[in-house]
Structure 1
């Protein structure tokens, strides 16, 4: 895990006391810490030695504070902070979503889901529903949330495999990337149905991750091992495509929405994109394997 200067992107500190391999990153601003799941040494759908821990990072001291052991559950991956203050964490191989109290780093509940291909999840702005991407199963599971409890209430059949999922912070829709061809699926989050699929004309392959800005005014769609991203506004109007580095994995918007960062895993660089001009203005080196990015504030 690297701590970067938010202006120069120089590496200021490196943490490497992790089992193999850390995937994903969740910032918990109230607790001034982060969760880094230890997924295992494989990849999605092929993880022969799954992990069973979540690293807890002290963001003020910039050090590993400890680990949450999720055994016997395996392959923790994407986590999201709910409006109830709890963390909802996928455990892929175990077809389970954990509910964690970030104040005590304790597991308070387990929600069984019908798929062992649940890799990522998204929570509605209301906090009342959670949606999972069941990638190879070509489905999205809908979970109703209430005070740390959850129950599966629906399954949305998709036209094919999917790769990424995100909930709009400002509108009643969910987006998911088509896992087989360039396309962005749009789902109605109230009626639990596929509404339309938007083309991604600058892409030759399927895409992977989708990320909204915190205020919901921007959306980035990241190519799956293809050096291109697409940018949309919050109403899904296309703004343009931008060439980035090799194997882009994830991205994040700056707090002021002036800059978009893309992590290029194979190049070991960041693409620093000026949103006003849609130009890459810098490609600082951060080391091969960079994957998930997030800003955090120092009190």
Structure 2
């Protein structure tokens, strides 16, 4: 087994010596949307009351993408972002490669995990991995950080959230991407893009209890509050729906387009799927106990991640090649406005 190289840099509130490297200490207290801008290496923090934006710098890079003088910073292309259960910290996967252009060539880079203070914007720790990762996510109790290694002999890694020491290394399928958790807090689901499967891991025992065959090149098993996991199969152009109680596929939805992300809206009982590379989000409703395409919403080019407000009335969609986040009236399926953010926005999380 190849040794995993791990190093932790505790940043605290240390400020760099040049203005270019300085991250201002923020005071984010309002309900906000945190948007990862992969190419800008920043987080746009959108105040959901007035849509004003604060920016969190994750890198010491100066303009034009070059490193600042004497900088050893190597944070490149942060991808997905998750909030700790208590709402105080953000966990960010940094694959080191632009995943908006696809997953080819990812084996040549090294990934990282960043932990950021959700209120101040200060980086609390940086953990280096010897292979790229798709995301990093807090466990349901907030005591662990889970991530994957995107390599042929795939691994799901579990770290102690307090000191970022490696606790477990779990063998999964080939080229795993996103790792997520079921809404009941019992299982982790790792989407194995190279094996066309999803590994189900018992959170307590850290053992794979089942491997479920899905469509071609799954990227994530996205958590639904209805007791299902929604798996987007990019090459298969489908969604595999896994029932968490049964741990089996209960429905496969053929899309006819490449999915970028899947989100379930409980208040409307709708499934929303973004169309990767295109400017649309499609919504599906239940008809004869099956998901049927009901319509589309035009957002921005390369629509990607979808997040709903707590009451399900608003949707927030990142548009990777439009440098915007679209705010959508979910019930009426109409766009309200676009908000300008950084370059190649992808992951988004809502803090209420």
Q: Same fold (TM over 0.5)?
A: yes
Q: Are 1:185 and 2:244 matched, yes or no?
A: no
- Unmatched segments (≥5 aa) in structure 2: 1-42, 60-73
Q: Which moved more, 1:24-33 or 1:252-261?
A: 24-33
Normalised by the length of structure 2, the TM-score is 0.73
Inter-CA distance 107–240: structure 2 relative to 1 (3 Å threshold): farther
Q: Are 1:98 and 2:153 matched, yes or no?
A: no
Inter-CA distance 34–109: structure 2 relative to 1 (3 Å threshold): same
Deviations 1:184-227 (A, max 9, x none): 22223344333221243xxx522121133588955421112122
Which residue of structure 2 aligns with residue 229 of structure 1? 281
Q: Contact 2:106–2:150 (CA<8 Å) still a contact in 1?
A: no
Which residue of structure 2 aligns with residue 276 of structure 1? 331
Q: Contact 1:170–1:215 (CA<8 Å) still a contact in 2?
A: no
Q: 2:93 aligns with which of 29, 37, 46?
A: 37
**Structure-1 separation of matches of 2:261 and 2:295:** 17
Which residue of structure 2 aligns with residue 112 of structure 1? 170
**Structure-2 separation of matches of 1:92 and 1:79:** 12
Q: Which moved more, 1:124-133 or 1:260-269?
A: 124-133
Displacement of 1:246: 0.5
Q: Contact 1:163–1:207 (CA<8 Å) still a contact in 2?
A: no
Secondary structure of the equivalent of 1:126? coil
Q: 1:68 aligns with which of 107, 127, 134?
A: 127
Secondary structure of the equivalent of 1:76? coil
Residue pairs, 1:1-299, within 5 angstroms? 1-17=43-59, 19-30=75-86, 32-43=88-99, 44-69=103-128, 71=129, 73-85=130-142, 86-93=144-151, 95-102=154-161, 104-146=162-204, 149-171=205-227, 173-200=228-255, 204-212=256-264, 218-232=270-284, 237=291, 240-297=295-352
Secondary structure of the equivalent of 2:351? coil
Q: Which moved more, 1:46-55 or 1:119-128?
A: 46-55
Displacement of 1:16: 3.8
Secondary structure of the equivalent of 1:125? coil
Normalised by the length of structure 1, the TM-score is 0.85
**Structure-2 separation of matches of 1:286 and 1:130:** 31
Displacement of 1:13: 2.3
Q: Which moved more, 1:19-28 or 1:155-164?
A: 155-164
Deviations 1:103-141 (A, max 9, x none): x14234223223231101232223222221111321111
Q: Contact 1:129–1:142 (CA<8 Å) still a contact in 2?
A: yes
Q: Contact 1:213–1:252 (CA<8 Å) still a contact in 2?
A: no
Deviations 1:270-297 (A, max 9, x none): 1110012110010121132111111224
Structure 1 or 2: more strand by fraction: 1
Q: Contact 1:45–1:117 (CA<8 Å) still a contact in 2?
A: no
Q: For the aligned residues, what is the CA RMSD?
A: 2.6
